[in-house]
Chain A
Amino acid sequence: MHKIVRWPGLFVFLLFIGLLVGGLLVSASTLVKRAIEATGTGIVGAKVEVGQVDLSLAPLGFHVFDLQVTDPDAPMVNAFQIDDIEFFLDTEQLLHLKTIVHEMQIKRLRVKVPRKESGAILQPVAPANGDAPTSEQGQSIYEFPSLEEFKVEDIFNREKLDSVEHLNRLRVVTAQDRELWNDKLAGLPNGKKVNHYREVLANLNFNSTGDVAADAAALQTMADDARKVQGEVRTDFENLDAARRDAQTMLHDMRTSFKRFAALPAQDVARIQAKYSLSPTGLANVSDLLFGEKVRYWVSMALDWYVKLKPIYERFEKNQAVVEAPERSSGVYVRYPEHGKYPDFLVHRASISMELSVGKINGELRNLTSDQSVEGHPLTFNLFSKEMQGVQDIEIVGILNHVDPGKSTDSVSVKARSIQAREINVLKNAQFPLRLAAAEMDLESAVELIGTNIGSKMNVAFRNTNFSVPFKDKPSRIAAAMAESLAGIKTFDAQVTLSGTLSDFGLSIKSNVDDVLKKAIGEQVAQAAQDFKHRVQQELDKRIAEPMANLQQEMAHAEEIGNAVERKIAELKTLRDQAEQRVKDLDNTYQAKLTEQKQQLQRNVDTKVDQEKSAAQEKAKAKQRKLQDEFKDKLKR
């Protein structure tokens, strides 16, 4: 028997293991690079790229260079870019398949860096998140009103007027009805027919011949003729009655449409005024109109990134009770309670140095993990700078507490002093291109997110403001007055309030600019609005006058049709009653004749019976006398 063991095989095995470990070490950098790129792209929804990853063995760590995260909404721009990330792994925990980083250095983080090529991905990697805010959410309920002084005629030529359209539609319908009724009326019983019925009924006169039977037969024929006329009159009456109902429905529909029309001119006027004229109500919310666009953009972007980065600080827990069928050959990893305090991934502390175009911000981040419930501490971060151009100091402090994922509470506060604003396009509106040429601001903001409910308050105090409105064309009176008023504002406060949920939030912006503008141009705006309304009303009245007159004619015609039908109905009703009476009379006469004929017959019968009875009695008496005579003869013998 051969030996069962071959020892050279052990050497081959050790060689294989050596090659395997060597291969892993050589490719570790590439594997980590690919892992960061794939995971990041999946989270962000746009390309995440890493320039280079270097591995260090003692201590075990990685040096990541040139991390670029594309802005998914602007693929030619990196949302942020980090030149250098250095971190070391806890090797003991790595054996437990845990990635624990005690110290991480994030150096030279820059935002909004242009890319050389697009970072868009062809297909969305992550499914749409229901919590993510959309571009329409938080939209202002106000639209910036037109400040142009339009010619009312031009507006009317451009705008679709519901009132005029309704009138025209109504006129077409009534004209169609008129045609229909002309045909219909021709088919209904006319005067000739009614006269014919009358003539027939009038000719049904009874003259007795003296012969009762002949009279009765004649009466029966006349009654049948009268009944025939009665039937025809009744049918005509029913047809007319149906036509009357149709006419009533037509008139009712017309009147309803007319009533509906009554409200439309006022609605047209209101709509045109809202679109083309600045109202005093609009003026009350002018802060929202002026600053809302910019604020909404920043809020939407911040919330969008909050939702996008959620997988980094909160694990998506599937329902434990449901184990989905895994992909072939991959299986499911069952999790058990852990004795240790470490989650699968944790960065204990990361120091951050951000380089913005206006200067540097430094800060740190603690407890970055998707399993805060295991680690037991919330993610905290703070950023602070006194080295930024145009800002005296800025401090951002945040806590993302997902220790209990069902009761997450996140809060971020921002404080900035003496922010110098220069040449900011506040409003990109062709009629009112408002610019903030210069201002100094103090800002204090606190945002709190409990679950998906968001609440935020921000106060901004503006000083030394210099608004300007570089009109391209000659401005309207109102626009010029507004620009002048804004130019006179040197200090003002603004309050921004955010409330609702992540997917459906509302934003309100208030400031004392509203009061200043209201005071300065309120009366002017109110007067202009009133004038505009008057002119619109006049033009509308002019435009609806002709269709209105036509319609009224059609209405009168329709009313006439209704009346004609009513008259015919009344006429036929009388005729119907006359026919009924005639039939009744003839029937009665006929019945009387029949009775008379019956009585005469009875009398004849009675006379004949009496005659026959007398003859029989005579005959009996003669027979009796004969018998008596015979009996007497016999007695004599």
Chain B
Amino acid sequence: MLDQIFKLIKILNSDQEPIHLSMGFAFAMVIGLTPLFSPHNLLVLLMVLVLRVNFSAFLLGWAFFSAVGYALDPVMHELGLRVLSAPGLQNLWTEWYNSAFWRLTLYNNTIVMGSVLLSAALFAPMLLVGNYVIRQYRAVLLARLRATRLFQILKASKWFKRYQAFQELSDA
């Protein structure tokens, strides 16, 4: 976990594309909020592996969003139940229920439905906001942080030395 944090700090401070990092967070949100053993998470895994998603961001984000997902369970159950019980959608759900493919997706589970809808709705905002925040961090915040006294103290600390040693090892 510590390695992942150092890696993330390093990448945040590097010139790697912000979109790769924000994609890691966005996909982590999907896999973290939804039940792990749901078939749609295979698709998420495929995306994470095939697209240039930053793994450190993905793994850290997964840990974070799993905790958020557990806290939001009741909300997602309620959302899923309302959607699955919506009178206007009954024909669609009945059709899906009679289809082998859709049954395998576990769409009729209230938490699966609620969490997929929630993470799908938050995916694009998370991507864009993440991208913007990383850019702003690099352009404004990082320069100001480096100039602060606190940063100087931290730089002199053994933690920072460990970080540097790690960076050197990674580079080697």
Interface set of A (CB-CB < 8 Å, partner B): 1-7, 9-10, 12-13, 16-17, 92, 95-97, 323, 325-326, 328-340
On chain A, the residues within 8 Å of B51 by CB distance are 4-6, 9
Q: List the count of A-B residue pairs having beta carbons below 8 Å apart.
A: 90
Question: Please, how many angstroms separate the alpha-carbon atoms of A575 and B119 in the complex?
Answer: 108
Given A332-B77, A336-B94: A17 touches B50 (CB 8 Å cut-off) = no
On chain A, the residues within 8 Å of B48 by CB distance are 9
Question: Please, how many angstroms separate the alpha-carbon atoms of A329 and B74 in the complex?
Answer: 9
Q: When A and B form their complex, which 3 residue pairs have the shortest distance between CB atoms, in order from nearest?
A: A331-B111, A9-B49, A95-B100
Interface residue count for B (Cβ, 8 Å)?
35
Q: Is the CB of A2 within 8 A of B17?
A: yes
B103 on interface, CB distance cutoff 8 Å? yes
- A28 vs chain B, min Cβ distance (A): 16
- In residues 1-51 of chain B, which contact A (Cβ within 8 Å)? 17, 19-20, 35, 42, 45-46, 48-51
Given A336-B90, A339-B98: A2 touches B52 (CB 8 Å cut-off) = yes
Question: Please, how many angstroms separate the alpha-carbon atoms of A340 and B77 in the complex?
Answer: 28
Q: Is the CB of B110 within 8 A of A331?
A: yes
On chain B, the residues within 8 Å of A338 by CB distance are 97-98
On chain B, the residues within 8 Å of A337 by CB distance are 94, 97
Q: Is the CB of A333 within 8 A of B109?
A: yes
On chain B, the residues within 8 Å of A333 by CB distance are 106, 108-110
Q: Is the CB of A334 within 8 A of B84?
A: yes
On chain B, the residues within 8 Å of A9 by CB distance are 48-51
Across the two chains, which residue of chain A brings its CB closest to B20? A2
- B130 vs chain A, min Cβ distance (A): 16
On chain B, the residues within 8 Å of A323 by CB distance are 81
Given A6-B50, A6-B51, A10-B49: A334 touches B110 (CB 8 Å cut-off) = yes
Across the two chains, which residue of chain A brings its CB closest to B17? A2
Can you name 11 extra interface pairs (CB under 8 A) apart from A4-B51, A329-B111?
A: A1-B17, A5-B50, A16-B45, A92-B100, A326-B110, A329-B73, A332-B81, A332-B110, A336-B90, A336-B98, A338-B97
Across the two chains, which residue of chain B brings its CB closest to A327? B73
Q: Is the CB of B108 within 8 A of A13?
A: no
On chain A, the residues within 8 Å of B70 by CB distance are 328-329
B133 on interface, CB distance cutoff 8 Å? no
Question: Please, how many angstroms separate the alpha-carbon atoms of A338 and B51 in the complex?
Answer: 39
Q: Is the CB of B77 within 8 A of A326?
A: yes
On chain A, the residues within 8 Å of B46 by CB distance are 10, 13
Q: Is the CB of B50 within 8 A of A331?
A: no
On chain B, the residues within 8 Å of A10 by CB distance are 46, 49-50
- B166 vs chain A, min Cβ distance (A): 24
Question: Please, how many angstroms separate the alpha-carbon atoms of A6 and B98 in the complex?
Answer: 37
On chain A, the residues within 8 Å of B49 by CB distance are 6, 9-10, 12-13, 16
